[in-house]
Amino acid sequence: MLETMFARPQGLFDQLDAMQRLLSRSLGVEGSPGTIRSVAQGAFPEINVGRTAKSLEVFVFAPGLEASSIDVVVERNVLKVSGSRSSAIPRNDNNVQLYANERPEGKFVRAVSLPDDADTARVEAKYKDGILRVSVGLVEPAQPKRIAVK
Amino acid sequence: MSDRNEIANKATAESSAGSNASGSANARPVAPAVDIFEDAAGITLLADMPGVSRDSLDVRLDGDALAVEGRVELQLPEDMRAVWAEVQAPRFRRVFTLSRELDPARIEANLKDGVLQLRIPKHAQAQARRIEVRAG
């Protein structure tokens, strides 16, 4: 079965989480997110996470950055991505009229808590077309071991 | 099947297999966030389109409607499953209406690191001219 990273995960708890967010948003209740690091929709940069048998793939949608200016840190099983985005709008020019300013600018930081089987020694990060992809290796699941009874 | 997979293809396969009723191939495209500003010579538009490459970008002019469209392209491992998805549509699309003083024939497009920059110059005769006052 193929599943894309864009499909909403179908787990029951994810759905509950999504419902709770939706409810809290429509009721105007702030500060009751499902998980501690979840943020309101529209935060910059947006993050998608996928999992394969061997790795956790974190996709950070952060266009318009220099690869060298992105900080990727793993500390105590938390992956932290931070950086800063400057604006191309010439603000000091009086002859420039600004019509839309939707693109987030300035400093950002986002964190993803990693699963227990994450191997924090095997982390790779690549930046292409405005997407930072962080691959975190997963530890092979321990094989059940039969102990001979003497 | 090669390692390279376009999300759109995967999503199509997924929805045709009926494994996910809310298949993302048909998900409504997301409007990219934009900055738009105007100077004496024209208008500059910046659009955030992460994951869109030159090949999957489409800037089209139909009459006075300027449509910006792009497909997010990623190499995804075959066996990957989603555990968290804030970006839920693999497509961007937004349409802008141009006014008459702009010259669509001279639009310049530049895509870098997922940011599209469009420069839409004004017609020469539409540009404000400063008339020099001569002494004498």
pLDDT number for residue A78:
93
Angle at A123 between CA B10 and CA B81, to 5 degrees: 25
What would the mean pLDDT of B86-98 be, rounded to a whole number?
90
Set of chain B residues whose Cβ sits within 8 Å of the Cβ of A6 = 7, 11, 24, 27, 82, 85, 87-90
pLDDT number for residue A123:
95
Angle at A67 between CA A64 and CA A72, to 5 degrees: 110
What would the mean pLDDT of A24-38 be, rounded to a whole number?
48
- d(CA A85, CA A127) in angstroms, rounded, equals 15
What is the distance in angstroms between the Cα of A146 and the nearest Cα belonging to chain B?
30
pLDDT number for residue B124:
82
Query: Which runs of consecutive H residues, i.e. helices, occur in A54-122?
Result: none
pTM: 0.73
Question: Which residue out of A4, A36, A114, A124 would a mutagenesis test of the B interface target, given it has the greatest number of B Cβ atoms within 10 Å?
Answer: A4
The confidence band for A7, taking pLDDT boundaries of 50, 70 and 90, is: low
pLDDT number for residue B53:
95
Looking at this predicted complex, what is its ipTM?
Answer: 0.72
pLDDT number for residue A22:
57
Torsion of CA A7, A12, A18, A22, to 10 degrees: 130
pLDDT higher at B51 or A39: B51
Beta strands (DSSP E) in A52-104 are: 55-61, 71-75, 78-85, 97-101
Question: Which residue out of B35, B56, B110 would a mutagenesis test of the A interface target, given it has the greatest number of A Cβ atoms within 10 Å?
Answer: B35
Contact B20 A7 (CB under 8 A): yes
What would the mean pLDDT of A66-87 be, rounded to a whole number?
92
pLDDT number for residue A63:
96
- d(CA B14, CA B103) in angstroms, rounded, equals 43
Q: Is there a contact between B48 and B57 (Cβ–Cβ < 8 Å)?
A: no
Burial of residue A147, with CB atoms counted within 10 A of its CB: 0-12 exposed, 13-18 middle, 19 or more buried: exposed
- B8-64 pLDDT, tens digit per residue, is 333 333 333 333 333 455 568 989 999 999 998 999 999 999 999 999 999 999 988
pLDDT number for residue A45:
92
pLDDT number for residue A41:
54
How is residue B122 annotated by DSSP? B
The confidence band for A40, taking pLDDT boundaries of 50, 70 and 90, is: low
The confidence band for A33, taking pLDDT boundaries of 50, 70 and 90, is: very low
Q: Cα–chain-centroid distance for residue B108?
A: 13
Name the average pLDDT for chain A: 80
Q: Give the largest Cα separation in chain B, rounded.
A: 83
3-state percent breakdown (helix, strand, coil) of chain A, nearest 5: 10, 40, 50
How is residue B27 annotated by DSSP? S
pLDDT number for residue A141:
76
CA neighbor of A102 nearest in space, from B124, B48, B131: B48
The confidence band for A145, taking pLDDT boundaries of 50, 70 and 90, is: confident
Is residue A28's pLDDT more than 70?
no
User: For chain A, what percent of residues have pLDDT higher than 70?
Assistant: 72
